[in-house]
Amino acid sequence: MAPTVSVRIPRRAVAGYAAGSVGTGGFGTLPGLVLAYYLTDTLAVPALLASLVVIVPKVWDVLIDPAVGALSDREVRSRGTRTRLMALGAITLPVGFIGMFAAPIGLSPVLAGVWVLVFFVLATSSFSLFQVPYIALPADLTSDYAERTRLTAWRIAVLALAILLVGAGGPALRDAAGGGSGGYLLMGIVIAVLLLGGMLGTVLGVGRRGVAGPAGDAAGPVRDRYENAGRASKTFIKIGEYRAGLAALRELPAYRVLLTAFVLQALATGVMLAAAQYVATYTLADQAALTFLFAALVGPALLVMPLWTRYAARTGKAPALTMASVLFGVACLALVAMVWAPGWWVYLPVALAGVGYAGMQLFPLAMLPDVISAAGRERGGAMSGLWTAGETAGLALGPAVVLLLLAAGGFRSSTGDVILAQPDSAHLLIVLAFSLIPAALVGASLLVLRAYRDPIPSPTTAEVTT
């Protein structure tokens, strides 16, 4: 068989696609770090109401993502690209994001909570308009197996950098401005501009490249193919916006297995990140250790992403995901030793978990376009919408799992100025939430992944030239 020559995606398109992770990473990180504290300690919103303000937009996100995916599929059939919907999300997101941190002084706690809730829902809606088509883009940009991994690798590297930059820089900017309402407002404005720049970078960088042709070249829109092959999908969308994604989940074993494993791993990550502050304060006895734990977990992605890409080129994406998951699980199990001997050594297994985490982020997102391409790209938006909803649900459940464990262990809540002594049961469950629970969830995902069958076989080294 003659060698297959892959057509590389232009650097501008690769850079443009990666730039979008500044928006997705920043928006996914900062509200989770500071919004609850802003509600309770700046706006005096009662904790119960504050929990609703944080949770309701997540529920809304889960509900609308499949519908946005269906709209994205309609756009790609009619225009050959998904960028118009993404541009709308990018332009409107700063309004909601800044509004979240701009509650007028003098509002009652209840009205302040309602203010933040309204703008958080608006920001979440705008984010969905960008994020759902963004995930489906690789299947549109290229049909080449290796090029999708290259495209996603750059995206995840920028994502890790954005998480570090926004996660550390946002609160520092707030504090430098004196904290309080003014500090949060300045932080919201600066970060919103950063998010806007990243998302518009994708819209402009990808531009009108359209849907990839059969040979892997993004040669422009191929509307006829979408209209002919997408008739069944159109029927689903007419019946209900959610049914196309749910039908894919039912009909496509590879999609079902990959999504289930990804949600389990998102839950594992959500639990570990939610437990990190408790580990820093109560296990390591240093609140500032959170910064180093966070950096140790996310930082390795900047270094190891090219290595994971090369590894996947030799072994295939599914085996590489398995290896990354095993590394993450083993590292988490090692952290159980904190029960008996907490200390500086914990940063080493956390960094090893970060190496695995990089692969766990890269490969599912590189495998999804393969599944979409094999299923028919006209269903890509619906499938990515359900994917985003699953990821959101997994990450949102992480803090809930940790809080339930703490409650079961008799954890004693306190103000921000007082750190209370905790019972031994609470100390034990804090460590287990950071170690054994994530390891068990990733172990469950590995059992699920055993049933995965790659819909697009990995090309051999001899068949691919770069």
Q: Which of 39-48, 106-115, 360-369, 378-387 has the lowest mean pLDDT?
A: 378-387
Mean pLDDT to the nearest integer, 316-344: 91
Q: How far apart are the first and last CA of the chain?
A: 18
Q: Which of 54-63, 250-259, 369-378 has the lowest mean pLDDT?
A: 369-378
3-state secondary structure of 464: strand
C-alpha to C-alpha distances, 243 to 130, 212, 218, 252, nearest whole angstrom:
21, 25, 29, 14
Instruction: Between 47 and 391, name the one with better pLDDT.
Output: 391
Which range among 5-14, 423-432, 441-450, 455-464 has the greatest average pLDDT?
A: 441-450
Q: What is the dihedral of CA 97, 99, 101, 102, to 10 degrees?
A: 160
What digits encode the pLDDT tens for the residues 421-451?
777 888 899 899 899 999 999 999 999 888 8
pLDDT value, residue 287:
64
Per the structure, the count of domains in the chain is: 1
Mean pLDDT to the nearest integer, 398-413: 71
Centroid of chain to Cα 300: 17
Tell me whether residue 218 is in a domain.
Answer: no
* Band (396; pLDDT cuts 50, 70, 90): low
Cβ contact 212:220 at 8 Å? no
Which range among 117-121, 171-175, 227-231 has the greatest average pLDDT?
A: 117-121
Q: Which of 189-193, 201-205, 244-248, 338-342 has the lowest mean pLDDT?
A: 244-248
How many CB atoms lie under 10 A from the CB of residue 462? 9
Backbone angles phi, psi at 75, to 5 degrees: -65, -45
Nearest to 117 by CA among 96, 92, 91: 96
Which range among 174-178, 295-299, 319-323 has the greatest average pLDDT?
A: 319-323
Tell me whether residue 23 is in a domain.
Answer: yes
Contacts of 77 (CB under 8 A, 6+ apart): 223, 226, 227, 230, 234, 378
pLDDT value, residue 209:
52
Q: Which of 99-103, 192-196, 337-341, 453-457 has the lowest mean pLDDT?
A: 453-457
What is the biggest distance separating any 2 CA atoms in the chain, rounded to whole angstroms? 74
C-alpha to C-alpha distances, 212 to 80, 196, 219, 362, 395, nearest whole angstrom:
10, 27, 6, 21, 32
**DSSP state letter for 207:** T
Cβ contact 129:27 at 8 Å? no
% of the chain exceeding 90 in pLDDT: 20
Q: What CA–CA distance (Å, rounded) separates 188 from 209?
A: 33
Instruction: Between 114 and 155, name the one with better pLDDT.
Output: 114
Tell me whether residue 71 is in a domain.
Answer: yes
How many CB atoms lie under 10 A from the CB of residue 319? 16
Tell me whether residue 234 is in a domain.
Answer: yes
Predicted model pTM: 0.66
Centroid of chain to Cα 22: 12
Q: What CA–CA distance (Å, rounded) separates 148 from 415?
A: 48
C-alpha to C-alpha distances, 343 to 31, 43, 69, 347, nearest whole angstrom:
29, 36, 46, 9
Tell me whether residue 459 is in a domain.
Answer: yes
Tell me whether residue 217 is in a domain.
Answer: no
Which range among 100-104, 147-151, 251-255, 295-299 has the greatest average pLDDT?
A: 100-104
3-state secondary structure of 131: helix
Cβ contact 450:258 at 8 Å? no
Tell me whether residue 220 is in a domain.
Answer: no
Tell me whether residue 382 is in a domain.
Answer: yes
Backbone angles phi, psi at 144, to 5 degrees: -85, 130
Cβ contact 198:206 at 8 Å? no
pLDDT value, residue 90:
92
* Band (218; pLDDT cuts 50, 70, 90): very low
Nearest to 272 by CA among 56, 441, 103, 39: 441
Cβ contact 153:15 at 8 Å? no
pLDDT at 464 over 50: no
* Domain housing 251: 4-212+225-465
Mean pLDDT to the nearest integer, 345-357: 91
What digits encode the pLDDT tens for the residues 130-159?
988 887 777 667 666 566 667 777 777 787
* Band (236; pLDDT cuts 50, 70, 90): very low
Question: What is the CATH classification number for the domain harbouring 167?
Answer: 1.20.1250.20
pLDDT value, residue 102:
93
Instruction: Between 83 and 214, name the one with better pLDDT.
Output: 83
Calculate the average pLDDT of the chain. Answer: 76
Mean pLDDT to the nearest integer, 162-185: 81
H-only helix segments in 289-435: 289-298, 300-315, 317-334, 347-375, 380-408, 424-434
Which range among 120-129, 143-152, 292-301 has the greatest average pLDDT?
A: 120-129
Mean pLDDT to the nearest integer, 253-281: 82
